Amino acid sequence: MAEEQQQHLPNSVEVAVIGAGVVGCSIAYQLAKRGKSVAVFDQRGIGSGASGRNGGMTGTGSALHSSGGEAIYALTSENFSMLQDELARELDDDFSLLVTGGIDIATNEEQADFLKAAVSRQQENDIDVEWLNGQEARDLVPALSEHIYGVEWKRYSGHLWPFQLVHALANGARYYNARFITHTPVTRILTSNGTATGIETAFGSVEAGAVVVATNAWTRSLLPDLPEGAIVPSRGQILVTQPVGQILPMPFSTNYDKEYGRQTHSGQILCGGFRRLDVDEGLGHFTEEVHPPAVGGIANCLATIFPKMRDLKVVRTWAGLMGFTADGLPMIGSYGDTKGLFVAAGFNGGGFSYAVATGKAMAQLVANGRSTLDLEPFDPNRFASGTASWDNPFTAGEQNNPGKLTLDA
């Protein structure tokens, strides 16, 4: 295997992309389309990280962030629009995207107050969201419990089939001659005189004019000077039920996006969350193992919010690693003082709302030195003072949350 991989390593490329998740594949596609010679390296296969283990929900904006909100909205709107138009046309693929809208469910008064304030803030900025009380929410999604406090209804969101998008991007990149070199761990980024010059892999070195690190949860192993805590692995778990008739017309999230779910094209209910019942709340571990208490929390959440789903059988569970950043925002841009070194990582629980626009922004940055999209809040160097802290209560430590979801009877 080692010899075979080594034989296939190119001597040099214009751009080496590390990581063949949705972000790396998108960057590779956009760079290759612009005529760059690109090779993508992955320690495993295409989409084997979070990009092949996620919930498939996508949309625009985020109620969780008041700072950086405009840039988040601009990037995620570009992402959503690219999925529906530009990229769908270019790749001749619909990614099984359904623009259904989505709801964020309040199961207590605190969440209701938070969501109502988020809705007002977004409406002031002409964003198409609405607060619905319990009855209005049930008119939209009849399976909802009678005991919920209301929902934020986001019209501009939906869900897709993650593998379909990742492989469409990879195939698009290949069409423009990008190479995918899988099962080849990158062990080091090579530099000389303050400039990135290539990468070292387990099977040999490759020279590169630019290096893009798109390794999400694993990023600190390649950028060891990134302050501890700036990006940490966070294990998420998902369960899938037997197929049922149409019961969930749109994806949902609840509890500050910590729990979420949707009905897939095949009729199965997919639901994830409850990291707080995992070992160490799922933080800091690199093993992709299912921890039964977390799955129990997810099942209870589903049955509580949607009582009609109480008797559904769970047919599959899995785990995957997200890259959580200290402030909940991704890192997209040039890295440190090293010329030709770029990073696009730390997409927390929402990479499918960012990835395809990030590919475009990163390709512009690598090819032209600047991006037309505002990347300022996503500057990867913002943690360089060494004072990274978990200041986003919604993505970071979860101990303030109850272990079991209850709704007042």
Q: What residues make contact with ligand FAD under the rule CB under 6 A? A: 18-24, 41-44, 48-51, 53-58, 185-186, 214-218, 221-222, 236, 238, 260, 272, 320-322, 345, 347, 349-353
Q: Among 147, 123, 136, which residue's Cα sits nearest to residue 63?
A: 123
Residue environment code for 183-211, b if the CB has 16+ CB neighbours within 10 A, otherwise e: ebebeebbeeeeebbbbebebebbebbbb
Amino acid letter at 40? V
H or E stretch at 314: strand 314-325
Amino acid letter at 340? G
Q: How far is the CB of 306 from ligand FAD (least distance, A)?
A: 17
Q: Among 321, 315, 308, 333, which residue's Cα sits nearest to residue 248?
A: 308
Residue closer to ligand FAD by CB (options 213, 388) is 213
Question: Computed from CA positions of residues 245, 249, 254, 258, in that sequence, does the dihedral angle turn out positive or negative?
Answer: positive
Q: How far is the CB of 19 from ligand FAD (least distance, A)?
A: 3
Residue closer to ligand FAD by CB (options 134, 260) is 260
CA gap 84, 104 in Å, rounded: 22
Q: How far is the CB of 53 from ligand FAD (least distance, A)?
A: 5
Residue closer to ligand FAD by CB (options 80, 131) is 80
CA gap 69, 62 in Å, rounded: 7
Report yes or no: 39 and 179 within 8 Å, Cβ to Cβ.
Answer: yes
Question: Computed from CA positions of residues 79, 84, 88, 90, in that sequence, does the dihedral angle turn out positive or negative?
Answer: negative
Residue closer to ligand FAD by CB (options 122, 348) is 348
Residue closer to ligand FAD by CB (options 134, 272) is 272
Q: How far is the CB of 165 from ligand FAD (least distance, A)?
A: 10
Q: How far is the CB of 55 from ligand FAD (least distance, A)?
A: 3
Q: How far is the CB of 315 from ligand FAD (least distance, A)?
A: 17
CA gap 348, 207 in Å, rounded: 31
Residue closer to ligand FAD by CB (options 347, 383) is 347
